[in-house]
Amino acid sequence: MAKISARFACQECGASFPRWAGKCEACGAWNSIVEEAPVESVPKGLGSGKGGRRIEFVGLDGGSTPPPRRLTGIAELDRVAGGGLVAGSALLVGGDPGIGKSTLLLQAVAALAGEATCVYISGEEAVDQVRLRARRLGLAAAPVQLAAATSLRDIVASLDQGQPPAFVVIDSIQTMYLDALDSAPGTVAQVRACASELIRLAKRRGFTLFLVGHVTKDGQLAGPRVLEHMVDTVLYFEGERGHQFRILRAVKNRFGATDEIGVFEMTDAGLTGVANPSALFLAERRGNVSGSCVFAGIEGTRPMLVEIQALVAPTSFGTPRRAVIGWDSGRLAMVMAVLDARCGLALGGNDVYLNVAGGLRISEPAADLAVAAALVSSATDVPVEADLVVFGEIGLSGEIRAVSQTDGRLKEAAKLGFAQALVPAVPRQGTAQAKPASKAAAAGPIGLRRIGHVQDLVSLFRSGGKAGQKSGE
């Protein structure tokens, strides 16, 4: 019998190596390679000569019905999941410690327990600790079946007998271990094997599986990236500790739209959904302060208005400081370089601070024009008009590029009482054409001011009035 030799695996990306090394050649991480002993039960190749079962192929125009969905009663969670939970699906929920992952899932299974059997298995907390949280949230009377276990063999044996539950929560996957492996819980091999067994059981028995995952200091899900490929839906819980808002974002969803978000507010009674997040994000906004601009963005299928704040101040150090919260620091550097090179503003010698109010993180390029407006407003000390929303993408030559879903952005702005919009000069194909604000109102009560270059934006502030006011029309 051939000798079974140990192998070395990276704990960040899952790459395997024949010997230990200080740096992983696959992902570049340092001190992430650990020794893992392989098991004899690993499937071997097809050299044994055993024949396989012939599979049956079907056409694309089959008569299968869409998978049924079940609503949790938490509207924001149902929105992110694609309109409800699908039987036999696996959802991975990740987020920073203390962000509210366990609280949200406990509220979800408590709401579902009245109609279906729900199981909550905790590997991090004792039963009494989970009961204490349930009493604090007012959920102690919910008929949720609770257990504290970490052995995957015991969990699978319990879930695979009798009538299967409808919903199962594993909190968390990093605490589960399979006794067939010699590695410690939380390693690449254990996380991959435990998740694979649980997902296979969920699809065979037809229950919805929630897996809670830890994140690294970089905000990525701990363990190999293959874990995200194994599940049907990946949800990230985001939010700042100093804000009461929490954002549940879908980065992968086989049964719905990706980049969909749900907005929650953390209260003493747990997480409550926010039906109109735009009004909440703009509740404390002051419209007569320079450096503040309202951006009309799109998160998934939902239009959302947020306030972007910028502060340009003289530096007291040799190297100017850049501080960005809620946006990509690389795009901020690009927008500043375009303003310096194409408009001659010379912002590079100042300290620049940028903040997306409310704790929301924006990733779409349509925020370029709003960020540029906030920067120019702070640099010139000219406030942006209080009833003006801004959106548009900026190119390296200074042109303002069109963005998608213009009508949805304008309708959301009109609903919140905004009267003007600063938009790209050329609308994207398929978007409704509109006349300037001085001639006729477009998209309801919203008047459009179209600009084609960042120099047109800077001229609005250099004219002496507030940006967005009609000048010479």
pLDDT in tens, 10-26: 887 778 888 889 998 88
Are 132 and 187 in contact, with CB atoms under 8 Å apart?
no
Nearest Cα neighbor of 227 from 11, 69, 36, 23 is 11
How high is the pLDDT of residue 172?
87
Q: In 367-387, which positions are buried (b, 16+ CB within 10 angstroms) versus exposed (e)? A: bbbbbbbbbbbbbbebbbbbb
* Chain Cα centroid distance, residue 115: 30
Residue with the larger pLDDT of the pair 260 and 43: 260
pLDDT in tens, 353-394: 999 988 888 989 999 999 999 999 999 999 999 999 999 999
How high is the pLDDT of residue 42?
47
- Give just the sign of the alpha carbon dihedral 192, 193, 194, 195: positive
Residue with the larger pLDDT of the pair 69 and 472: 69
**232 pLDDT above the threshold of 50:** yes
Are 104 and 248 in contact, with CB atoms under 8 Å apart?
yes
How high is the pLDDT of residue 141?
93
> What SS3 state is found at 376?
helix
Q: Which residues pair with 211 in a beta bridge?
A: 92, 170
The CA-CA-CA angle for residues 385, 247, 417, to 5°, reads 25
pLDDT in tens, 71-118: 998 999 999 999 999 999 999 998 888 888 999 999 999 999 999 999
Mean of the pLDDT values across residues 213-231?
71
Q: What type of residue is 49? A: G
Can you tell me which residue has the tokens 């409800």? 84
Angle between helices 454-462 and 368-380 (to 10 degrees): 30
Q: Respond yes or no on whether the N-terminal peptide bond of residue 404 is cis (omega within 30° of 0).
A: no
Are 214 and 174 in contact, with CB atoms under 8 Å apart?
yes
User: pLDDT category, 229, cuts 50, 70, 90?
Assistant: confident
Q: What type of residue is 376? A: V
